[in-house]
Amino acid sequence: MERTGSSGVSKWDIRNKIWDYMEANNLADFPRPVHHRIPNFKGASLASVGISNLGEFRSARTVKANPDSPQRDIRFLTLEARKALLVPTPRLRSGLFNRIVPPPGATKETLRKCATSQGVRDYSVPVGLDAKVHVDLIVVGSVAVSEKGWRIGKGEGFADMEYAMMVSMGAVGHRTVVITAVHDCQVVDIPEELLDDHDLTVDYILTPTKIIKTECKRPKPWGIMWNKISQETLKKIPVLKILHGREKLEGKDVLLKDERPDTLTAEKTLRAANENFPEGSRPQAETTSLAQPRREGEALSDERGPLSAPATVYVGNISSGTRVSDLKEALKMHHVTPARLSWRGAQHQAFLSYSDKSKAEEAITALKGLSLQGHPLRVEWARNQQGKMAPRPR
């Protein structure tokens, strides 16, 4: 069930308001009615032309675009520019995405056919999970979007899931740009409190009248949040099941929503697991001071208990190739060096210990949106600080 903001407005309220308005004012083309769809808004072709003005599009080699009608011209422009075009498979039933491969010597008219929904079926080949794919630019459909970059889809969560799955397979990084194309009436205020950690944000908005650069600093999803996925969903999406098996072998927390042992929310459960390991089974943690860097060969501190400083910050989604020295350097560059750092590389996380709350708050603000090795970090209060620090910063 989607959350409701302090004003009493939910995502569904915003969706229905947009859909009703577009129908009442005849602002959409076939298929109609637009309810429960990504609207095929009038002026979609004009909005699509704007993508050619973006340097990020001109420099992109691989573009992933949704298969909806309003993005048909963006798919055409991508093919015309001789870029690799990836399109997600319908409802992810048979894989993650396909690559559109026009016939040799394709004319402009043929490329337009390749960009249609029928062309996607006739001129595509599947892209396997082991393919070495790097997506430079992603085009998603939206029902509503704000100038700050907050996005609301049609409510099924496929765009969010596709992005998270691409993170899992290493196909996107911190430089991957996300674009949406909508009618001007679909650009509305969206309370940030309605957004969840899994919600995908956008960097550019194309409309028939303008291009909006959102300057969005909110981190994009850092991977698949298994604690929000049910066993039923896993069964319906084979590629998701494969990724689940892979991450399980890597030792990651892949317990599904309906596999949790208690009624804690998935996020609380994950934090509890990270922060409250039983004595004797705690993961190997490197605890060292950044103020006094550990010299090569120097013994690690044998302190393994919960951090006891007044304020502790959790840093998650650290990639396997990241070293503690990489994180230290980033902290120094942002002038948020903690009194102590507890490094848990095997668990893809670290804990930053500060002497007071204000310094920890500065660290959380400074590190929001930071990426290391192409992985956006998850930065927030550590679980054992919840309840002590109110309100929790966003």
Architecture of the structural domain at 260-276+283-293+302-394: 2-Layer Sandwich (3.30)
Q: Is pLDDT of 278 > 50?
A: no
Tokens linked to 122? 């006739």
How far apart (Å, rounded) are the C-alpha atoms in residues 111 and 130?
Answer: 28
pTM of the model: 0.65
Q: What are phi and psi of 240, to 5 degrees?
A: -65, -35
Task: Give the residue from 159, 156, 153 showing the smallest Cα distance to 66.
Answer: 159
Q: What number is the average pLDDT over the span 338-361? A: 83
Q: Is pLDDT of 27 > 90?
A: yes
Q: What are phi and psi of 286, to 5 degrees?
A: -95, 115
Cβ atoms 106, 114 nearer than 8 A: yes
Report DSSP letters for 280-331, one per residue: T-PPP-EEE-SSSPPPTTPPPP---S---SSEEEEEE---TT--HHHHHHHH
Buried b (16+ CB within 10 A) or exposed e, 202-212: bbbbbbbeeeb
What does the pLDDT read at residue 111?
97
Model confidence pLDDT, tens digit, residues 61-101: 999 999 889 999 999 999 999 999 999 887 676 668 899 99
How far apart (Å, rounded) are the C-alpha atoms in residues 240 and 233?
Answer: 9
Matching fold, domains 11-213 and 260-276+283-293+302-394:
no
Local confidence band at 148 (pLDDT 50, 70, 90 cut-offs): very high
Q: Is pLDDT of 390 > 60?
A: no
List, in order, residues 6 or more apart from 195 with CB less than 8 Å away: 150, 201, 218
CATH hierarchy code of domain 11-213:
3.40.50.10420
How far apart (Å, rounded) are the C-alpha atoms in residues 205 and 185?
Answer: 12
Q: Is pLDDT of 321 > 60?
A: yes
Distances (CA, A) of 272 to 114, 237, 264, 277: 49, 29, 10, 8
Cβ atoms 118, 110 nearer than 8 A: no
Using the 8-state DSSP alphabet, how is residue 289 labeled? -
Q: Is pLDDT of 373 > 80?
A: no
- What length does the chain have? 394
| 124-127 vs 137-140, strand pairing mode | unpaired
How far apart (Å, rounded) are the C-alpha atoms in residues 34 and 23?
Answer: 7
Which of the listed ranges 16-25, 192-201, 279-288 does the model predict with the highest average pLDDT? 16-25
Using the 8-state DSSP alphabet, how is residue 161 labeled? H
What does the pLDDT read at residue 33?
94
What are the sequence ranges of the domains in the chain? 11-213, 227-259, 260-276+283-293+302-394
Name the amino acid, one letter, at 38. I
Position with higher pLDDT, 312 vs 260:
312
Count other Cβ atoms within 10 Å, centred on residue 192.
Answer: 13
Q: What are phi and psi of 56, to 5 degrees?
A: -65, -35
